[in-house]
Amino acid sequence: MVNVVKSASMGSGEHGWLHSRFHFSFAEYYNPDNMRFGALRVLNDDVFDAYGGFDTHPHDNMEILSYVVRGELTHRDSLGNGNRLGRGDVQYMSAGTGILHSEFNKTEHPLRFLQIWITPDEQNLDPDYGDRRFAWEDRVGTWLLVASGSQDGPIRVHQDVRISVSAIGEGEELRYDLEPGRQAYLVQIEGEGTVNGFALEEGDAAEITAEREVVVRAIEPSHYILLDLAAE
């Protein structure tokens, strides 16, 4: 089963320098029928205008990943970490018992990134931070695993999840096998394509349940993120 979620139907937020699409209930967008997809609690598609950003603020008991689509994301936190990440890079925080951080666009160009919150499999862990820079070509024509709940992922998260990204060219097709008892959440980050025959435009998503295979096909050059989660 494939349930396509159109970008235009998602929650939204406009706050001057910040422009957001909320895949699930978040901030001023509340829908009791759209709180999560398995362990995936938040997926926000955020655009920061030039020099915009969030001042220092707290998080706890959440696995938080940021995937940079374009521009540069600058991070600082209470653990002493500070980095600037670019297109295709991933930042990770295990908020655990509590962490403070800020995130800014310190350039004159727009920043777009996906912010992903995953419910951890254990509460009150020690806070942790990590980031990884991935060569763009490593995701071209294939699924690049960027984070996982097991040791095989470049970034390890505290949950039974596998997060992969891909970029494929016009007319190209890519497959992803789902094991029994698994489901997937797919985002068409850029471009236009199909998933299992269902049309997707930029910013759209698909909830994929009771399927053994995910097949994406690019109508134009396309960029994807896929979260492989335990089914409920």
Residue 29 has a pLDDT of 95
DSSP 125: P
Q: Is 130 exposed, middle or buried (0-12, 13-18, 19+ CB in 10 A)?
A: middle
Rounded Cα–Cα distance for residues 112 and 19 (Å): 9
Q: Has residue 232 got a pLDDT over 90?
A: no
Work out the number of other CB atoms within 10 angstroms of the CB of residue 48. Answer: 25
Sort residue 96 into left (φ over 0), alpha (ψ -120 to 50) or beta.
Answer: left
User: How far is it, in rounded angstroms, from Cα 12 to Cα 140?
Assistant: 30
* Percent of the chain whose pLDDT exceeds 70: 100
Q: What is the pLDDT of residue 87?
A: 98
Average pLDDT over the chain, rounded to an integer: 96
- Predicted local distance difference test score (pLDDT) of residue 6: 98
pLDDT in tens, 176-201: 999 999 999 999 999 999 999 999 99
Structure-token match 């931070």, residue found: 129
- Encode burial over 134-148: b for 16+ CB neighbours within 10 A, e otherwise: beeeebeeebbbbbb
Instruction: State mean pLDDT over 4-13.
Output: 97
Entry pTM: 0.96
SS3 (DSSP) at 142: coil
**So what's the pLDDT on residue 81?**
85
Helical spans, DSSP H, in the chain: none
Q: How many Å separate Cα 82 from the centre of its chain? A: 21
Q: Which residues of 201-224 are buried (b: 16+ CB within 10 A; e: fewer)?
A: ebbbbbbbbebeebebbbeeebbb
Token pair belonging to 227: 């979260």
Give the pLDDT confidence of 12-28 residue by residue, as tens digits.
999 999 999 999 999 99
pLDDT average, residue stretch 105-127 = 97
- Tens-digit pLDDT profile for residues 75-86: 998 988 888 999
pLDDT in tens, 127-138: 999 999 999 999
Whether residue 152 is predicted with pLDDT greater than 90 in this model: the reply is no
CB atoms within 10 A of CB 226: 22
